[in-house]
Structure 1
Amino acid sequence: MRFFKTYLLPRILMYFLVIVVGVTIVFIIPRLLPIDPIQQMIGQITSTGAYLDPKTLDYMIETLKELYGLKGTLWEQYWGFWRRLLKGDFGPSYYQFPVPVISLIRQSLPWTLGLLLTTTVVSWILGNVLGALGGYFPQKSWAKILDVISMVIRPMPYYVLALSLLLLFAYLIPIFPLGGGFLIGGRISFDLRSILILLKHAFLPAMSLILIGVFLWFQAMKLVVQSVKNEDFVSYARLGGLSQSKIVSRYVMRNAMLPQITGLALSLGQIFSGALITEIVFSYPGLGTLLYNAIFTGDYNLLMGIMTMSIFVITTSILVIDLLYPIFDPRVRYR
């Protein structure tokens, strides 16, 4: 009962508060854009030479306002947005009218989660393992080499690294495709050929994300380990005659991982922001590309749908890691 009151309940309340605040901001931001999707659509229709009499035009505007949730006062639009949100209805997309927004998100979300979530976890594991070993054995030649590589790659802007890999391995040495997630016009199936094609298209965007991520975690973990290995309990373990492998795995790395787990939860919040640049550079068919098209066309419904979905996925991931944290840190369980 004490755990529920002091640990679980505050985090669940904070979870719902973050969602409410985030969704409210998502509702407000598109309405600050200078683009009016209704007038833009009417302008496109009239630019083709089509004639609309005033009654038809007024009826069309009212219908479009209803479809895009822009009918009524701002307060009425806000509550209408929440009612539709609870039903999983974001309305139709503007630039792919009349396809529902939820259908577009359902098509693009697996691509983004498959690429960004996988690379985040892989880079976190590799970076922390290499950082722990490099911090405990800084005199080793391989640790010094990794240090030099990290000092070159880590400060490099992501888009520079991504474009460099694209030019090198897709243009100069055409090993991998220039972009896309699959063959143009191809149909994805669960066979070996389709899986290999998917992996080939995902290799360059995944490699660019992993390279940046690995050396980010490597540097952070190395600094933590260099501090932890001088603690008294580590010195006592050495005096007790424990092997180096046990000291590193059970004492140094286990204690140094605690802030890194918190860092993993925070890095999950960067998944969708990283998707935008990655998917545009590599023409990857995920939420980043969809978000770019939504911003460019002023698609209110699609913008709010993508950002709302991002808020739910990110806050839920952070909540799950936060609730699992007592498993890794006995001090939290004790309190």
Structure 2
Amino acid sequence: MSAYFAYFAKRLVQFVVVVFIGVNLAFAITHASPIDPVEQSIAAVTSFGSTAPEAIAAMRSSLQELYGLKGTLAEQYVTFWSRVLRGDFGPSLSAFPTPVSTLIGRALPWTAGLLIVSTLITWVLGNLLGGLAGYYQRNRTLKLMGVVAMGVHPIPYYIVALMLLIIFGFLWPVLPITGGSAMNLQQGWNWAFVSSVARHSILPALSLILIGLGSWFLGMRSLVSNIVTEDYVVYAETAGLDSRRVLGSYVMRNALAPQVTGLAMSLGGIFNGAVITEKVFGYPGVGTLLVDAVYAADYGLVLGVTTVSIIAVSVGVLVIDLLYPLIDPRVELR
């Protein structure tokens, strides 16, 4: 038990360091931008007519305080971290005066639901089919799946998303191609809203699953192909154990540990696909929110979405790291 606590403490320190570095980079990059949200807001207000210099100065001071840009860079840095700890990123420039935290709070459940479901389906299905293909190497159907996986894997997310959009939106319009749910539906845990959300999420989730499935399939097939030649597997088969038991207890379980590590490493790239996919399908998630914020030069919203994304991915990696010893007990002894 003490070994696991040492492992837990080490992973927790790594989590804090990663979040600290990532959030600092987000702060540095956004502050390096030539766009000044304060001056942009003032320009938008004064474009409707002349304004007294005193009013502009007062407005500039108030907006600098709202956006956390008052004082020196060091003072802005302290203000930024105090807001991060409180979950307050100030108001949104493009949706003024709505707070950034409110906009992220509305969009985050959509992205979290889409990514969690599609990632789990991709990982489970890819590893299961890859394990079967690696163990039953003469099966023609599984061989064909391997060929398809190798062909689909290199295709970019947006190409698959656009193909699905054309097929199911125009050639065979059986699925909704935009939005997170049907309009004029009351949001809540009622059948009409839940079923509408499920139908609208099919195409975005499918675009993520089709691309991600190939890498897990090929990786698991390669691992299983090597493990089946190990002495303990050959001995178990020679002893007359059922092939399903050999596959599940001796082969798949040993091949799963590297795949869990791969899942933790791939979480950092999840938002890349989500941003493109959500924008293509008009899905009301964090990806769409980030793209719109970049187009509108919404400094606070970009910083808020980036910070929340860094923390969310880091938390996901931490959870997987903490679950890793349950799959591979040898981790506790290292």
**TM-score category, normalised to shorter length:** over 0.9
* 2:288 match: 289
| Maintained 8 Å contact 1:135/1:226 | yes
| Maintained 8 Å contact 1:171/1:178 | no
Q: Does 1:34 align with 2:38?
A: no
Cα distance in 2 for residues equivalent to 1:101 and 1:158: 28
Quick one: percent identity of the two aligned structures? 46
* 2:301 match: 302
* 1:106 match: 105
Deviation at 1:203, TM superposition (A): 0.7
Q: Does 1:18 align with 2:18?
A: yes
| Maintained 8 Å contact 2:185/2:192 | no
* 2:157 match: 158
Cα distance in 2 for residues equivalent to 1:273 and 1:236: 45
TM-score by length of 1: 0.96
* 1:267 match: 266
Cα distance in 2 for residues equivalent to 1:94 and 1:158: 30
Deviation at 1:179, TM superposition (A): 0.6
Q: Does 1:80 align with 2:79?
A: yes
Task: For 1:330, give the aligned amino acid.
Answer: P
Segments of structure 2 that go 5 or more residues without pairing to the other structure are: none
Q: Does 1:245 align with 2:244?
A: yes
Deviation at 1:4, TM superposition (A): 5.5
* 2:51 match: 52
* 2:147 match: 148
Deviations 1:296-332 (A, max 9, x none): 1222211111111111111111111111111111212
Deviations 1:211-241 (A, max 9, x none): 1112221011111111111111111111221
Cα distance in 1 for residues equivalent to 2:200 and 2:192: 13
Cα distance in 1 for residues equivalent to 2:2 and 2:194: 48
Cα distance in 2 for residues equivalent to 1:171 and 1:150: 26
Cα distance in 2 for residues equivalent to 1:28 and 1:159: 29
* 1:116 match: 115
* 1:131 match: 130
Once the two structures are overlaid, the 10-residue window that deviates more, 106-115 or 79-88, is 79-88
| Maintained 8 Å contact 2:150/2:218 | no
Cα distance in 2 for residues equivalent to 1:24 and 1:280: 27
Cα distance in 2 for residues equivalent to 1:193 and 1:10: 46
Q: Does 1:202 align with 2:201?
A: yes
| Maintained 8 Å contact 2:126/2:217 | yes
TM-score by length of 2: 0.96
Deviation at 1:43, TM superposition (A): 1.6
Once the two structures are overlaid, the 10-residue window that deviates more, 324-333 or 182-191, is 182-191
Once the two structures are overlaid, the 10-residue window that deviates more, 280-289 or 292-301, is 292-301
Deviation at 1:5, TM superposition (A): 6.4
Cα distance in 2 for residues equivalent to 1:309 and 1:105: 8
Deviation at 1:290, TM superposition (A): 0.6
Count of aligned residue pairs for this structure pair: 334
| Maintained 8 Å contact 1:93/1:301 | yes
Cα distance in 2 for residues equivalent to 1:87 and 1:72: 20
Cα distance in 1 for residues equivalent to 2:266 and 2:4: 26
| Maintained 8 Å contact 1:132/1:221 | yes
* 1:327 match: 326
Cα distance in 1 for residues equivalent to 2:285 and 2:269: 15
Deviation at 1:25, TM superposition (A): 0.8
Cα distance in 1 for residues equivalent to 2:171 and 2:224: 41
Once the two structures are overlaid, the 10-residue window that deviates more, 65-74 or 175-184, is 175-184
* 1:234 match: 233
Deviation at 1:189, TM superposition (A): 2.8
Deviations 1:269-312 (A, max 9, x none): 22222221011110000000110111112222111111111111
Task: For 2:320, give the aligned amino acid.
Answer: I
Task: For 2:142, give the aligned amino acid.
Answer: A
